[in-house]
Amino acid sequence: MRMSTNSPSGSYYLSGKSGTDMINGAIYNTITFKQVIIPKNTGEFDFLPGTVQAWTPVENSAPGTTGSGSGWNFSSTVVASKGLTLRVLPLPTQKRPADFTGIIAEEVHVTSSVTHREMNVGDPIVLTIEIKGPPLLKDMEIPPLSGIAKLTIGFKLRSDSEIMQLEKDRKLFIQTIRVKSESVRRIPSIEVPYFNTLSGTYEVAKSRPIPITVRPTRMLT
Protein backbone atom coordinates (compact mmCIF):
# COMPACT_ATOMS: atom_id res chain seq x y z
CA MET A 1 0.00 0.00 0.00
CA ARG A 2 1.16 3.53 -0.70
CA MET A 3 0.35 6.75 1.14
CA SER A 4 0.23 10.21 -0.37
CA THR A 5 1.70 12.77 2.00
CA ASN A 6 2.29 16.50 1.88
CA SER A 7 5.25 18.42 3.26
CA PRO A 8 6.67 21.93 2.87
CA SER A 9 8.79 20.54 0.03
CA GLY A 10 5.86 19.02 -1.88
CA SER A 11 3.79 15.84 -2.17
CA TYR A 12 5.16 12.32 -2.57
CA TYR A 13 4.26 8.67 -1.97
CA LEU A 14 5.49 6.31 0.75
CA SER A 15 5.37 2.53 0.84
CA GLY A 16 3.78 1.02 3.95
CA LYS A 17 4.65 -1.98 6.11
CA SER A 18 1.77 -4.18 7.26
CA GLY A 19 1.30 -5.40 10.84
CA THR A 20 -1.23 -5.66 13.67
CA ASP A 21 -2.02 -3.54 16.72
CA MET A 22 -4.52 -3.50 19.58
CA ILE A 23 -6.82 -0.48 19.57
CA ASN A 24 -9.51 -0.11 22.25
CA GLY A 25 -9.21 -3.78 23.12
CA ALA A 26 -9.56 -5.09 19.56
CA ILE A 27 -6.90 -6.36 17.14
CA TYR A 28 -6.66 -4.46 13.87
CA ASN A 29 -4.55 -4.88 10.77
CA THR A 30 -2.28 -1.85 10.41
CA ILE A 31 -0.12 -0.19 7.79
CA THR A 32 2.86 1.84 9.05
CA PHE A 33 4.55 4.49 6.93
CA LYS A 34 7.97 5.88 7.85
CA GLN A 35 10.09 8.58 6.28
CA VAL A 36 13.31 10.13 7.61
CA ILE A 37 13.46 13.89 7.13
CA ILE A 38 16.21 16.33 8.09
CA PRO A 39 15.33 20.02 8.53
CA LYS A 40 17.57 22.53 6.80
CA ASN A 41 16.47 25.56 8.81
CA THR A 42 15.21 26.42 12.29
CA GLY A 43 11.63 27.50 12.98
CA GLU A 44 8.15 25.96 12.89
CA PHE A 45 7.01 23.76 10.02
CA ASP A 46 3.44 22.67 9.36
CA PHE A 47 2.76 19.30 7.76
CA LEU A 48 -0.62 18.79 6.15
CA PRO A 49 -2.49 15.55 6.86
CA GLY A 50 -1.31 12.45 5.06
CA THR A 51 -3.96 10.44 3.25
CA VAL A 52 -4.42 6.72 2.63
CA GLN A 53 -6.70 5.41 -0.09
CA ALA A 54 -7.90 1.81 0.24
CA TRP A 55 -9.95 -0.29 -2.17
CA THR A 56 -12.31 -2.92 -0.74
CA PRO A 57 -13.69 -5.68 -3.01
CA VAL A 58 -17.49 -5.70 -3.18
CA GLU A 59 -19.40 -8.54 -4.81
CA ASN A 60 -21.37 -7.35 -7.81
CA SER A 61 -24.71 -9.20 -8.37
CA ALA A 62 -26.05 -9.12 -11.92
CA PRO A 63 -29.58 -7.63 -12.30
CA GLY A 64 -32.39 -10.21 -12.17
CA THR A 65 -30.26 -12.97 -10.69
CA THR A 66 -29.95 -14.45 -7.24
CA GLY A 67 -27.26 -16.33 -5.45
CA SER A 68 -23.61 -15.75 -6.20
CA GLY A 69 -22.63 -12.60 -8.00
CA SER A 70 -21.21 -12.41 -11.48
CA GLY A 71 -18.18 -10.29 -10.59
CA TRP A 72 -16.53 -7.84 -8.22
CA ASN A 73 -16.41 -4.09 -7.88
CA PHE A 74 -14.14 -2.11 -5.61
CA SER A 75 -15.24 0.47 -3.07
CA SER A 76 -12.75 3.27 -2.41
CA THR A 77 -12.17 4.75 1.05
CA VAL A 78 -9.86 7.67 1.84
CA VAL A 79 -8.60 8.20 5.41
CA ALA A 80 -6.57 11.21 6.53
CA SER A 81 -4.22 11.64 9.46
CA LYS A 82 -4.06 14.70 11.67
CA GLY A 83 -1.82 17.60 10.74
CA LEU A 84 1.51 18.04 12.47
CA THR A 85 3.62 21.03 13.49
CA LEU A 86 7.33 20.64 14.20
CA ARG A 87 9.54 23.19 15.91
CA VAL A 88 13.19 22.93 14.88
CA LEU A 89 15.76 24.27 17.33
CA PRO A 90 19.32 25.31 16.44
CA LEU A 91 22.17 23.03 17.49
CA PRO A 92 23.95 24.30 20.60
CA THR A 93 27.21 26.12 20.01
CA GLN A 94 28.56 25.41 23.50
CA LYS A 95 31.04 22.52 23.56
CA ARG A 96 30.67 21.96 19.81
CA PRO A 97 33.80 20.13 18.55
CA ALA A 98 35.93 22.11 16.12
CA ASP A 99 35.86 19.21 13.64
CA PHE A 100 32.08 18.63 13.88
CA THR A 101 30.79 17.92 10.35
CA GLY A 102 27.05 18.04 11.05
CA ILE A 103 26.33 14.39 11.86
CA ILE A 104 23.13 14.10 13.93
CA ALA A 105 22.01 10.69 15.18
CA GLU A 106 20.99 8.66 18.21
CA GLU A 107 24.25 6.73 17.93
CA VAL A 108 27.22 6.39 15.59
CA HIS A 109 29.54 3.41 15.18
CA VAL A 110 32.99 3.72 13.62
CA THR A 111 35.06 0.74 12.50
CA SER A 112 38.50 0.80 10.84
CA SER A 113 40.20 -1.93 8.84
CA VAL A 114 43.26 -2.31 6.59
CA THR A 115 44.14 -4.61 3.74
CA HIS A 116 47.10 -6.08 5.69
CA ARG A 117 48.78 -5.54 9.05
CA GLU A 118 52.36 -6.42 8.09
CA MET A 119 54.21 -4.13 5.70
CA ASN A 120 57.48 -2.48 4.75
CA VAL A 121 58.16 1.20 5.21
CA GLY A 122 56.53 3.02 2.28
CA ASP A 123 54.25 0.17 1.21
CA PRO A 124 50.76 1.35 0.19
CA ILE A 125 47.93 -0.04 2.32
CA VAL A 126 44.22 0.67 2.08
CA LEU A 127 42.50 2.04 5.15
CA THR A 128 38.72 1.63 5.23
CA ILE A 129 36.56 3.54 7.71
CA GLU A 130 33.00 2.29 8.15
CA ILE A 131 30.28 4.56 9.58
CA LYS A 132 26.92 3.19 10.77
CA GLY A 133 24.09 4.80 12.71
CA PRO A 134 23.06 8.08 11.05
CA PRO A 135 19.61 7.76 9.41
CA LEU A 136 20.74 9.49 6.22
CA LEU A 137 24.21 8.55 5.02
CA LYS A 138 24.29 9.99 1.50
CA ASP A 139 25.57 13.47 2.37
CA MET A 140 27.34 12.53 5.60
CA GLU A 141 30.99 13.53 5.91
CA ILE A 142 33.68 12.74 8.47
CA PRO A 143 36.54 15.04 9.50
CA PRO A 144 39.34 15.08 6.88
CA LEU A 145 41.91 12.38 7.59
CA SER A 146 44.62 14.86 6.68
CA GLY A 147 43.64 16.84 9.78
CA ILE A 148 44.17 13.94 12.20
CA ALA A 149 47.63 14.59 13.65
CA LYS A 150 47.83 11.13 15.24
CA LEU A 151 47.47 9.64 11.75
CA THR A 152 49.60 11.99 9.64
CA ILE A 153 52.54 11.85 12.05
CA GLY A 154 53.12 8.22 11.14
CA PHE A 155 51.53 7.90 7.69
CA LYS A 156 51.50 9.63 4.33
CA LEU A 157 48.08 10.07 2.74
CA ARG A 158 47.45 10.18 -0.99
CA SER A 159 45.19 13.17 -1.57
CA ASP A 160 43.84 11.73 -4.84
CA SER A 161 43.01 8.27 -3.50
CA GLU A 162 40.01 8.85 -1.21
CA ILE A 163 36.90 6.91 -2.21
CA MET A 164 33.42 7.08 -0.65
CA GLN A 165 31.10 4.09 -0.99
CA LEU A 166 27.46 4.13 0.10
CA GLU A 167 25.73 0.89 1.04
CA LYS A 168 22.33 0.06 2.54
CA ASP A 169 23.06 0.87 6.19
CA ARG A 170 26.64 2.11 6.16
CA LYS A 171 29.06 4.45 4.42
CA LEU A 172 32.67 3.59 3.69
CA PHE A 173 35.57 6.03 3.44
CA ILE A 174 38.53 4.38 1.70
CA GLN A 175 42.01 5.93 1.72
CA THR A 176 45.45 4.73 0.59
CA ILE A 177 48.15 5.42 3.17
CA ARG A 178 51.89 4.65 3.50
CA VAL A 179 53.71 4.17 6.78
CA LYS A 180 56.66 6.54 7.25
CA SER A 181 58.81 4.68 9.78
CA GLU A 182 59.46 1.23 11.18
CA SER A 183 58.86 2.71 14.64
CA VAL A 184 55.10 3.00 13.95
CA ARG A 185 53.24 0.30 15.84
CA ARG A 186 49.60 1.01 15.12
CA ILE A 187 47.05 2.89 13.07
CA PRO A 188 45.42 5.29 15.54
CA SER A 189 41.77 5.46 16.48
CA ILE A 190 39.59 7.43 14.07
CA GLU A 191 37.32 9.87 15.90
CA VAL A 192 34.02 11.14 14.49
CA PRO A 193 32.09 13.80 16.48
CA TYR A 194 28.31 13.89 16.29
CA PHE A 195 25.30 15.41 18.03
CA ASN A 196 23.40 12.81 20.06
CA THR A 197 19.67 13.46 19.69
CA LEU A 198 18.85 11.40 22.80
CA SER A 199 21.22 13.08 25.25
CA GLY A 200 21.19 16.50 23.55
CA THR A 201 24.98 16.67 23.72
CA TYR A 202 27.97 16.36 21.41
CA GLU A 203 29.73 13.02 21.58
CA VAL A 204 32.64 11.34 19.78
CA ALA A 205 32.46 7.90 18.18
CA LYS A 206 35.82 6.14 17.99
CA SER A 207 37.22 3.17 16.14
CA ARG A 208 39.69 0.82 17.77
CA PRO A 209 43.40 1.31 17.00
CA ILE A 210 44.85 -1.29 14.63
CA PRO A 211 48.18 -2.88 15.63
CA ILE A 212 50.61 -3.27 12.73
CA THR A 213 54.09 -4.68 12.13
CA VAL A 214 56.43 -2.53 10.02
CA ARG A 215 59.63 -3.87 8.51
CA PRO A 216 62.46 -1.50 7.53
CA THR A 217 63.05 -0.92 3.83
CA ARG A 218 65.97 -3.02 2.62
CA MET A 219 68.52 -1.39 0.34
CA LEU A 220 69.88 -3.65 -2.40
CA THR A 221 73.50 -3.14 -3.52
Number of Cβ within a 10 Å radius of residue 10: 7
DSSP class of 145: G
What share of the chain has pLDDT > 70, as a percent? 87
Collect the ranges in the chain with pLDDT lower than 70.
1-14, 61-71, 218-221
Kindly state the helix (H) or strand (E) to which residue 86 belongs, with its residue range. Answer: strand 84-88
pLDDT of 95-126, one tens digit each? 999 999 999 999 999 999 999 999 999 999 99
CB distance 192 to 204 below 8 Å: yes
The total number of structural domains that make up the chain: 2
Distance CA 153, CA 59 (A): 77
Q: Is the pTM of this model over 0.85?
A: no
13 phi, psi to nearest 5 deg: -110, 145
3-state secondary structure 149-214: HHHHCCEEECCCCCEEEECCCCEEEEEEEEECCCCCCEECCCEEEEEECCCCEEEEEECCCEECEE
In-domain check, residue 139: yes
The domain in which residue 135 lies consists of: 104-215
Q: Is residue 204 part of a domain?
A: yes
Is residue 160 in a domain? Answer: yes
- Out of 88, 119, 137, pick the residue that ends a domain: 88
